[in-house]
Structure 1
């Protein structure tokens, strides 16, 4: 058995099988990116539910792995030179793609194209959609000044137009199905949760709705959307 004793997080979220990848997450758009990748790649892993409450993500144990106090994070006991801990969902996707040799392209040009779209999600879709959700669904909706809400709505619409144009004539954003799709599509699905599909004109887009539907019908995606399982 591989020892993970050097990772204090394991004292709170104890592994049952320390020889497989340990996933610390919650089924948010960022969280399910990694569970989807693990399922699609067929990598052995053990999920641990880390709620978004301060008592979990700001606990000393979780901060010992991710000082940025955000899910998801992983420990791979079989890293390149021994056990390795990682955080930031985009970085984890790239790592898992390299580890498995799947969904990351077959040459440098394909990998660069896939990485470009992963970064598009990390720097654009995720942050802008998340802020829009705050101003439409959460505490921000109580702010009377419409400008913050309009700013993030308009930027979300712009980014969706970029994506819609890039999908013209394609099933997947970077050629074959890849980690770029695993990064992007969960955030498109989040528009349902935020109640902002109409606000951004989602159903008026030419290519994005069918793209999301293709993604959501994949068996691995359907399974991974609730991994780790939400508390009942």
Structure 2
């Protein structure tokens, strides 16, 4: 059965399109135009109580019953459990995946997202303050990721949903005003992932 991906062309939307391609799951995109407020429509609220994209509807959920899932991290975890892919069964290895997935959800997303926001602020004083505050922390987070990738090809050892989550935001590094050349391990990891055919399909899939 075909999964519905309710999304838009954003880092969080791309996390899921990449994961679905890597997991070889059939899906159809239901665009949610966040520019025009479609995320606030009652039909979307029923599957995403926080009015945020992405969300999925899986007609073949647990027990063969439909299920909707919101929040990109929860979606990745659900898809990994559903397919048995990109999430180790071993608790120690699985914990590393969840650590880096939570790192992305709590920091490497919300903080660079503030850089996006303040770059668009019209008032120069507000823009300068916001960019300074959040750019410093964004660069620190890239440094954390670079240090981690100095000793491993992927953030949790083997390729996992944590990599897909982080990749969705690293994809916007230019908007973060980050030159990946300053973070060579991140640059290597990013280039290797972007060479994967399923990742390329995930980013090529039209979400808007």
Alignment TM class, shorter chain as reference: over 0.9
Q: Is the 8 A contact 2:139 2:178 kept in 1?
A: no
Residue 29 of structure 1: how far off its partner (Å): 0.6
Q: Is the 8 A contact 2:135 2:176 kept in 1?
A: no
Query: How many correspondences in the alignment?
Result: 206
Residue 141 of structure 1: how far off its partner (Å): 5.3
**2:9 is aligned with 1:31:** no
Tell me what 2:155 maps to. 173
TM-score (norm 1): 0.84
Q: Is the 8 A contact 1:93 1:179 kept in 2?
A: yes
Higher relative contact order (CA 8 A, sep 6+): 2
Distance 1:206 1:191 in 2: 13
Q: Is the 8 A contact 1:57 1:70 kept in 2?
A: yes
Unaligned 5+ segments in structure 1 are 1-18
Distance 1:161 1:195 in 2: 14
Tell me what 2:191 maps to. 213
TM-score (norm 2): 0.93
Unaligned 5+ segments in structure 2 are none
Select 2:140's aligned residue among 149, 158, 161.
158
Q: Is the 8 A contact 1:21 1:75 kept in 2?
A: yes
Tell me what 1:4 maps to. none
Tell me what 1:118 maps to. 101
**2:136 is aligned with 1:142:** no
- Cα RMSD for the two superposed structures: 1.5
Post-superposition Cα deviations, 1:37-65, rounded to whole Å, max 9, x if no partner, equal 11100112222111113441111111121
